[in-house]
Structure 1
C-alpha cells in the first residue's frame, strides 16, 4: 500500500464511507497491527466511537482489599516529579489525566468530557490549537470542584524551570491556555503540533490541584506537603505513605464515575525483588497484582504451575538497553560530576563503542532470560510498527570486535586487557538488583573479556537506582558510572515524548536537579533539527519517517545500545480483572478493576 492509498482510506473513514473496524481489518491484511491502525486514525483526528471500559459490578464498593506488590517501591507521590515508573503508578491511585491510552492505541476520556476531534471542533486543520472540554461534577478529594483553572495551573507549574518537573517536555510547547469557561480550555501551540495528545494525557498528564500547590510553584516545589500526601480526583483517597515501603488508600465515595471503584481499600507494598513478587501472586496468591515481573521466563512458567495466577503480557515500546556515558563521571566541573563539559576517556573513541555493540549477545539474552516476554532488537524505537526502522541489524561477533580494537590502537597487555595511550580498556557497568539484569551483565562481561575489555559489575538496589532522591549519587539519573543498563518505558502510542530523551535541551544536570530525560548526556545537532521538524509535521507518513531517522541517528552512534524490546509483564491473581495498556500505566484504569467471584 502506498502513501496515497493510505490517505484515501483514512479520508473514507473520516467521511463515514468506511467503518473504523473495516479500516483496522484492512491494515491487518497489509501486515500492520490493530494498535498501529487505531493510532493512525487517532493521529488523523478520527475519534473512536466507543471507548467504554468493560465493568461488571452492579455498585461501588464491596470488593474488600486489593493488594498490589511493587518490588520497586515508590518514593514520592507527585506525578510531576516521578522519574521512575513506580512513582507514576503509585500517583495514579490518586491523580488522573484528561485522557489515557487503551491497549489499541486509542484515547479514552477520563477527566475530559470527550476526546477532541475535527468532528467536534476540538482540533483545527492547521494544528495550532485545540479545545478540551472537561467533565462536569468532578471534585478533588477535599470537596473543591475540579475546573479549567486546575488545567491551566498544571501547565504553569510544569513549565516553570525552577519547579524542575520531569513533565516539562510535555507542556513546554504550549504557547497559551485560555479559559473559555469553567469546563472548557483552548490550548494554542507555538507551532503546528501533530501530537496534541501529549500534555494532560496518560503518565505525564496527571493533574494536581491548584488550590494546594499554587504556593509551591517554582523554587518551593519540593516543600509541598502534597508531594507525599496527595489530594486528587482519582478513585482512591490517601490514607498513608511510607516512602520506599508502602502506600495505603481507601475508596473515594464521591468518585465521578458512577458505581466505581469496586475495591474498598488498596494496599500497595514495595520492596523485595521481581521473583518474590511473581511468586506472591502466581504461586501463593498472597497478592492480587505484581508490577513489572522482570523474571526469567523459565521461572515464570514454574510459578504459574502453582495455579494461583498468570503472567499477563502486552505489546508495548519498552526497551531494555545499555547506555555508555558520553561524559566523564570521575571528573568534577563546577561542582558537577558527569558534566557535559567533559568527555569519557574510553567511549569517546567510536571504535570502543562499535566493539562493545558487537559483544552484546542479544539473541542469548532473549532466549535464556526473557523468552516470551521480550524480543532482541537493534532499534531503540520499536513500536508502534510504522515507526520501526528496518535499517538496523545486530550480531555477536567477537572476532570482528577484536579486529576493530586492534586497528584503533588498543593493544592487549600481559594481563590480557587492552590499553592505549596509558589508558586501560576497563570500566564500571551498573544496573539495578534484579536477577535477569545480573545474568545479562554476566553475559556481557564474559564476551567483553574475550576482546580484552575488563568490566567491573555494579548492582544497586532498585529503590535507590530508580529513586528521585537528588542527593543520592547512585541513581540512574545522576549516571556517575561508565555504563548502565535499565528499561525505559514508552508511555504513549506515539514516539514524540519517548524520543525527546535524546534531545540536547533535556540533558540531566545539577541545574535541573537531574530531572532532565537525557540521562546519557548525548547531543547531536542533526537529531535536534529532525526532532523539531517532527514536532510540527502534520503529514503522518512523513512524520513517521522522521522518527525512524531519529532512531537511526541514536543507534548509529553506539552510545545507546538497544537489547530487548520488552513486553509489559505483570502478575495477576486468578479472577482479578484489569484493563491493561502497553501505552499507559498499569493502574490507568484501576477504577474499573474488579474481582470475579
Structure 2
C-alpha cells in the first residue's frame, strides 16, 4: 500500500459505515498507543501534541474543527457568526450559546461559569499558559446567564474563534481548578492528571509518561456513546514499536504519529492487521534558533531568557548560513518520502496562506561559507572549525528521541561541518522533551541548547493564533513556570504591530497577505525559525477499529466517541 494513495489533500481517514450502537460500553476496550507518552492531562500547561490529544478524550472545547477544517459545535449549540447574531456587527464580541443539560463527568451541571473560569485560568497574569495566544486580544469573558458566554476583544476581530475552539482550548471545570490559578497551576497534580470533563471518557488512573486508563463517561451527552467501555492508552517506546503493535501484531487498535520511513511502514502493513492512514495539514518539522543564551554558567533562572542574547545566533548571517547549508529535499527522501514535502514556510497550509517562499529549497554550501566569513567567523588555526575572538563556532543541537530525527541530526551535523561549524548532538526522550515539567532542564520550552528541532501545528485553518505565538513577551520564562509558545524568544515590534493589523483585518485577501508577511518575517527574513519538511500526518488503525476519521486540523482523537469495534 503506497502512502501516496493515502495523502488526500486536506484530510483523509477511514469513515466506515456508522455502527448501530446497542449501548454505551458494549464494545469492550480500545487500545491506543502514542510513542510520545503524555505527561499531563491539561493542555494549558503543555504545548506538547501528545498531551493535548490525550486530554481531548476527557475535556472538550465549545467547538472543534472537523476533518475538512470546518468549525462544528460540540458543547455549543451553533457556531456564532455575524449572520446568526453570534458575532457583533463591529466584530468586537462573540457570544456562545451552550447546549442545555450538559453534565460534567461527576454529574454536576456544565455552565457558562466554567467557560469564564477557563479564560481566567489561562489569562492569569501570574500563571504560565501554554495556549495563551488563543486569547490574544481578549479584554473580557462574561457569563450573560448560565448558558451564554460573551467574549469581548479590544478591537474589531474578524477571526474571533481563538478562545474555546479546538483541542488546544478546552473548558476546565471551575469547581475542580478554582484553587489552581496563577503560580499554583503547576502544583495541582490531582487536577492536572485527572480532570473532570464532558468528553466521552474519564481518567481512572494516570501514570505520567507511561499508561492512562480511562472508562466511558457515565454522563456523556449521547447515551449510546462511546461504544468502548474502557481505553488503554499506552505511552512511550518508539515509532517502530507503535507501528508494529497495530500493523503487524494487532496488539493495539490505533497508533499515532508514525514518524517512520515509508518503506518501513509498507512492509509492516503487508502483515494485514491494519493500515496506515495519512493526510497533509499544517505540521512542519523545523529548527528553532535560540535567540537567548543557554550557557549553563548563567544562574538557573536566567538561562534562555531575553536578558541574555545568544552570543552566536543573535547574528542573522549565522542563522541564514546554517539554513543555507541544509539539503531539504534529501531530508524528505530519507525521512518521509511521499509523506513529506520540503518547505521554507512555517505556515504551509491552507494553500491561500502559504507564502511563495522557495529560496531555502536550494542547498548552498559555498554561499553559507561566504556569509560566515562576512560575519567574522574564520578558521584561524586550520582545524576545520571556524572561530571568532577566540571562541569556536560550536553549537548544541537537541531534539526528541526518534529514528528519523536522529537521521536528520546526523545529516545536518555533516552539512554544518562542511561550512566550519562544530555541532554536538543531543536527543531527549520525547515524553520529557515535550512534557512541560517546569522542574526539568530538558524540555523544549526551556531550550537549554543553541538549536532544537521538532514539529507542531495549529487548530483549524486560520493561522492567526499560531503566528501570535511569537509575540514579544510570550516566551517561556521562570515567572510563567517556563510555559509560553514563543520558544525561540523572538521579539520584533514590527511583527507585533503586523499581528495587531491581522487581528482587525476581515477582508480575506488582506488577511492572507498579512499572514504571509508574518510567516516571512520569522522564516525568510530573520531565520529565527528554519522550516525543513511539511509533514503528512501518518497514523495507523487496526482492521477491527471502525469510525476513525483522521483529522489534521484538530486532535486526532476528536471523534473517539464515534469509534467502534468491527466484528470479524
TM-score (norm. length: structure 2) = 0.93
Rate the CA distance shift 1:335–1:179 in 2: closer, same or farther, 3 A.
closer
Per-residue displacement from partner, 1:366-394 (whole Å, max 9, x unpaired)? 11211122111011111111111014422
Give the conservation status (yes or no) of the 8 Å contact 2:35–2:236.
Answer: yes
Matches within 5 A, 1:335-414: 335-394=301-360, 395-412=362-379, 413-414=381-382
Matches within 5 A, 1:211-230: 211-224=175-188, 225-230=190-195
Q: Verify: 1:89 aligned to 2:53, yes or no.
A: yes
Q: Verify: 1:123 aligned to 2:87, yes or no.
A: yes
Give the conservation status (yes or no) of the 8 Å contact 2:133–2:469.
Answer: no
Rate the CA distance shift 1:108–1:34 in 2: closer, same or farther, 3 A.
farther
Give the conservation status (yes or no) of the 8 Å contact 1:430–1:484.
Answer: yes
1:302 to 267, 273, 285: 267
The residue that corresponds to 1:3 in the other structure is none
Query: Hey, which of these two has a bigger chunk of helix by percent?
Result: 1
Shift in Å, 1:487: 0.6
Shift in Å, 1:397: 1.5
The residue that corresponds to 2:555 in the other structure is 585
The residue that corresponds to 2:196 in the other structure is 231
Matches within 5 A, 1:415-564: 415-555=383-523, 556-564=525-533
Q: Verify: 1:184 aligned to 2:154, yes or no.
A: no
Q: Verify: 1:571 aligned to 2:535, yes or no.
A: no
Shift in Å, 1:135: 0.9
The residue that corresponds to 2:206 in the other structure is 241
Give the conservation status (yes or no) of the 8 Å contact 1:392–1:552.
Answer: no
In 2, Cα distance between the equivalents of 1:54 and 1:140?
30
For the residue of structure 1 that corresponds to 2:38, the secondary structure is: coil
For the residue of structure 1 that corresponds to 2:281, the secondary structure is: coil
The residue that corresponds to 1:332 in the other structure is 298
The residue that corresponds to 1:151 in the other structure is 115
Give the conservation status (yes or no) of the 8 Å contact 2:353–2:515.
Answer: yes
Shift in Å, 1:186: 2.1
Rate the CA distance shift 1:268–1:34 in 2: closer, same or farther, 3 A.
closer
In 1, Cα distance between the equivalents of 2:282 and 2:107?
38
Q: Verify: 1:290 aligned to 2:255, yes or no.
A: yes
Give the conservation status (yes or no) of the 8 Å contact 1:139–1:145.
Answer: yes
In 2, Cα distance between the equivalents of 1:343 and 1:438?
28
In 2, Cα distance between the equivalents of 1:100 and 1:387?
20
Matches within 5 A, 1:55-66: 55-59=18-22, 60-66=24-30
Per-residue displacement from partner, 1:504-547 (whole Å, max 9, x unpaired)? 12111111111110010111121111011111112122111101
The residue that corresponds to 2:3 in the other structure is none
Structure ranking higher on relative contact order (CA contacts 8 Å, 6+ apart): 2
Q: Calculate the aligned-residue CA RMSD, in Å.
A: 1.9
Rate the CA distance shift 1:124–1:429 in 2: closer, same or farther, 3 A.
same
Rate the CA distance shift 1:53–1:173 in 2: closer, same or farther, 3 A.
farther
The residue that corresponds to 2:216 in the other structure is 251
TM-score (norm. length: structure 1) = 0.89
Q: Which moved more, 1:404-413 or 1:244-253?
A: 404-413
- In structure 2, stretches of 5+ residues that fail to align are 1-7
In 1, Cα distance between the equivalents of 2:484 and 2:533?
24
The residue that corresponds to 1:204 in the other structure is 168
Q: Which moved more, 1:203-212 or 1:544-553?
A: 203-212
Q: Which moved more, 1:437-446 or 1:302-311?
A: 302-311
In 2, Cα distance between the equivalents of 1:568 and 1:406?
40
Shift in Å, 1:311: 1.4
Per-residue displacement from partner, 1:8-44 (whole Å, max 9, x unpaired)? xxxxxxxxxxxxxxxxxxxxxxxxx9869xxxxxxxx
In 2, Cα distance between the equivalents of 1:216 and 1:335?
23
Shift in Å, 1:333: 5.8
In 2, Cα distance between the equivalents of 1:215 and 1:343?
36
- In structure 1, stretches of 5+ residues that fail to align are 1-32, 37-51
For the residue of structure 1 that corresponds to 2:438, the secondary structure is: coil
Q: Which moved more, 1:469-478 or 1:188-197?
A: 188-197
Give the conservation status (yes or no) of the 8 Å contact 1:316–1:490.
Answer: no
How many aligned residue pairs are there? Answer: 550
Rate the CA distance shift 1:181–1:322 in 2: closer, same or farther, 3 A.
same
Shift in Å, 1:172: 4.7
Shift in Å, 1:53: 11
The residue that corresponds to 2:5 in the other structure is none
Shift in Å, 1:150: 0.9
